[in-house]
Structure 1
Amino acid sequence: MSDTMIAPDQKFIRTRDVVTTDMDGELVMMHVEKGSYFAISGSGGHLWAQLAQPRTMPELVASIEEDFETGEVEDLEGIVARFLSDMLAQGLVVAAD
């Protein structure tokens, strides 16, 4: 897990070097250039779909709040920040220009 600081106004988008497929509700991804495989499920798949367009972290948090029953989730922003940091560290997401 990465501890990268993410500025609230920085936009991110998924890299073009990733091929994805849905396998029984789990999103399986392959980074073509690196030959690495990844799998995400649940809200991670939702976030990945959101990142088809440039999005800020607050926009991603808002999309989770809209589309999921977040109820008692205390640190939704922290969860999304960790997801985004992990995706950045793996080269699956890049900063949008």
Structure 2
Amino acid sequence: MSALNLDSIVQRNPEMVSADMDGEMVMMSIENSAYYGLNAVGSDLWEAMENPVSITALCDRVTKNFDIDMASCQSDIMELLTDLRDRNLVQLAE
């Protein structure tokens, strides 16, 4: 599996079942028999990944919508997306 970088184009796994619960996204993985929850920032990212999007564009979106600097944002998003990809919740776009 190739490593993610800022130019990677990602999208959420279309097989995931997700719902907004009081402003936080909750997803269910039938494959993993597990539930996952995302805070406000993660929920915003999940919404943005409905269609293929670059990680750079996600960072731009988050720095506009939340109080975070670009360097911290890039680091945090890379860590989150790597974790989500490892759990098969996010994938590289075809």
TM-based fold match above 0.5: yes
CA distance, structure 1, for counterparts of residue 63 and residue 16 of structure 2 = 26
Q: How many angstroms apart in 2 are the aligned matches of 1:15 and 1:74? A: 26
Structure with the bigger percentage of helix: 2
Provide Cα deviations, 1:26-81, integer angstroms capped at 9, x if missing partner. 211101222211011110000011110111111110010122222x5751110010
Instruction: Check if 1:77 corresponds to 2:74.
Output: yes
Aligned match of 2:27: 29
SS in 1 for 2:38: strand
Matched AA of 2:81: L
CA-atom RMSD, angstroms? Answer: 1.7
- Structure 1 length normalisation: TM-score? 0.85
Which residue, out of 83, 86, 90, partners 1:86?
83
**Which amino acid is the alignment partner of residue 66 of structure 1?**
K
Letter in 2 for 1:83: L
Do the aligned partners of 2:25 and 2:37 also contact (CA within 8 Å) in 1?
yes
The one-letter code matched in structure 2 to 1:10 is S
CA offset at residue 95 of structure 1? 0.6
Residue 61 (str. 1) matches residue 39 (str. 2): no
Quote how far apart the aligned CAs of 1:14 are: 0.5
Unaligned stretches of 5+ in structure 1? none
Greater mean deviation of Cα atoms: 60-69 or 81-90 = 60-69
Structure 2 length as normaliser, TM-score?
Answer: 0.87
**Partner SS state of residue 21, structure 1:** strand
Query: Comparing 20-29 with 78-87, which one deviates more in the overlay?
Result: 20-29
Aligned 8 A contact 1:26 1:39 in 2: yes
Percent of residue pairs bearing the same amino acid type: 26
- Structure 2: which 5+ residue stretches go unaligned? none
Distance 1:73 1:9, change over 3 A: closer
